[in-house]
A and B are shown apart, each in its own frame.
Chain A
Amino acid sequence: DAGVTQSPTHLIKTRGQQVTLRCSPISGHKSVSWYQQVLGQGPQFIFQYYEKEERGRGNFPDRFSARQFPNYSSELNVNALLLGDSALYLCASSLAARGSNEKLFFGSGTQLSVL
Chain B
Amino acid sequence: AQKVTQAQTEISVVEKEDVTLDCVYETRDTTYYLFWYKQPPSGELVFLIRRNSFDEQNEISGRYSWNFQKSTSSFNFTITASQVVDSAVYFCALSEIYNQGGKLIFGQGTELSVKP
Contacts and interface: CB of A to CB of B under 8 A. Distances in A.
Given A98-B98, A103-B35, A42 B103 contact: no
Contacts of B44: 3-4, 90, 106-109
Interface string A9-37: 00000000000000000000001110000
Contact of A96 (B43, B93, B101): B101
B107 A48 contact: no
A99 B37 CA distance: 20
B45 A106 contact: yes
Interface residues of B, number: 28
B45 A43 contact: yes
A98 B105 CA distance: 18
Given A41-B109, A108-B44, 12 more contacts: A42-B91, A42-B109, A50-B100, A56-B103, A101-B33, A102-B101, A104-B104, A106-B45, A106-B46, A109-B43, A109-B44, A111-B43
19 contacts: A41-B108, A42-B4, A42-B108, A43-B91, A43-B106, A44-B106, A50-B101, A55-B100, A56-B99, A94-B101, A96-B102, A97-B101, A101-B50, A103-B35, A106-B46, A107-B44, A108-B44, A109-B43, A109-B44
